[in-house]
Structure 1
Amino acid sequence: MSSILVVDDSATVRDDVANFLRQHSLNVVTANDGREGLQQLQANNTIKLVICDVNMPHMDGLTMVEKSRGELRSQVPIIMLTTENCPKMKERGKAAGVKGWIVKPFNGPGILGAIQKLMAS
Structure 2
Amino acid sequence: MSVPRLVYDDDCGFCTFCVSHALDLGEFEAVGFSSMGDDLRARLPADYEECMHLVTDDAVYSCGEAVEQVARRTGAAGWWLTAGAKGLPKYPTAREKLYRWAADRRGLWGKLARRESLPE
Q: Which structure shows the higher helix fraction?
A: 2
Q: Which structure shows the higher strand fraction?
A: 1
| TM-score, normalisation: structure 2 | 0.34
| TM-score, normalisation: structure 1 | 0.34
Q: Which has the larger radius of gyration?
A: 2
